[in-house]
Structure 1
Amino acid sequence: MAMLISVGEGSGPPGAGWSVSEGVFDCIVEATRKLFKDDEVCCLNEIYSPLDDQGQNFIVLDYVDVRCFNLFYSYCKRAMEDFPRSERGGVVPESHIPGILWNWAEVLRLRREDSRYRTFK
């Protein structure tokens, strides 16, 4: 089953995003989810609500504010960097890791094209 990370806003119409296999989707969104802190639960809920509360096959960043959007981006990037050494990365066949990371990089690239994306130094 294809799963979607919906971006919308600056990178296309609402619902535009990156479609990946369920396994790759789980690697990306669950590794990212783990990095959210307790005081960031509002952003987490807003992004993950379709998946968690509605049983849909996507998460949505279309309408989140700049703060939540960039929080997701920074955690997604960090999760990608840590993935090959992570617990989940350790159970994925080594030959699959480059493909997972390529898709992950594309998810991040789409985020950088969005008007809400900010670089922080």
Structure 2
Amino acid sequence: MGMYVSIGEGTGWSASGGVFDCIVEATRGLFKEDEQCCLESIYAPLDEQGQSFIVLDYVDEVCFNLFYAYCKMAMDEFPFSQRAALIAEARVPGVLFGWSELLKIMQADPRYRESS
């Protein structure tokens, strides 16, 4: 079943459930306790409604860029993570490719701010 990250008006990214889970769960794990409001806003459809997507459409610039930063950090750490060890080594490049595609789409959003 396909999973989806809704990024903005008419813009999003879809992937298989396994790739989606790698990305959104690794990213979720980096949110700090004082950032739970952003996390809950983004993950509400998945967590509270049982939907097969997360939503960035309505979050402000701060939450959007926080998600982006954690998503990028999670991607950089993924090849060395316990989650990567659970999948076939040959699949890791495909997961990373999907991850990079998601980040590219997010960079095109007007809320995106390159961190220094």
The two structures share one fold, judged by TM-score above 0.5: yes
Q: Distance in 1 between matches of 2:40 and 2:93?
A: 30
Q: CA deviation at 1:22?
A: 0.2
Partner of 1:87: 82
Percent identity, aligned pairs only, is 60
Any idea what SS the aligned residue of 1:7 has?
Answer: strand
Q: Which residue does 1:3 correspond to in 2? A: 3
User: How far apart, CA to CA, are the structure 2 residues paired with 1:96 and 1:68?
Assistant: 30
Cross-structure match for 2:49: 54
The 5 Å alignment of 1:25-36 reads 25-36=20-31
Structure 2 residue identity aligned to 1:98? P
Residue 105 of structure 1 corresponds to 100
Aligned-residue offset at 1:120? 2.1
Query: Larger RCO: Structure 1 or Structure 2 (Cα < 8 Å, ≥ 6 residues apart)?
Result: 1
1:41 maps to 36
| Aligned mates of 1:100, 1:120 — CA distance in 2 | 24
Match of 2:13 among 4, 14, 18: 18
CA distance in structure 1 between the partners assigned to 2:56 and 2:33 by the alignment: 19
Aligned counterpart, 1:76: 71
CA distance in 2, matches of 1:18, 1:66: 19
What RMSD, in angstroms, separates the aligned Cα atoms of the two structures?
A: 0.6
| Residues 40-92 of structure 1: CA deviation (Å, up to 9, x unaligned) | 00000000000000000000001100000000000000000000000101111
Looking at structure 2, the residues matched to 18 and 112 of structure 1 have their Cα atoms a distance apart, in angstroms, of 13
Alignment length (residue pairs): 116
Match for 1:39: what amino acid?
Answer: D
CA distance in structure 1 between the aligned counterparts of 2:100 and 2:87, rounded to whole angstroms: 18
3-state SS in 1 of match to 2:69: helix
Unpaired segments of 5 or more residues in structure 1? none
Unpaired runs of 5+ residues, structure 2, are none
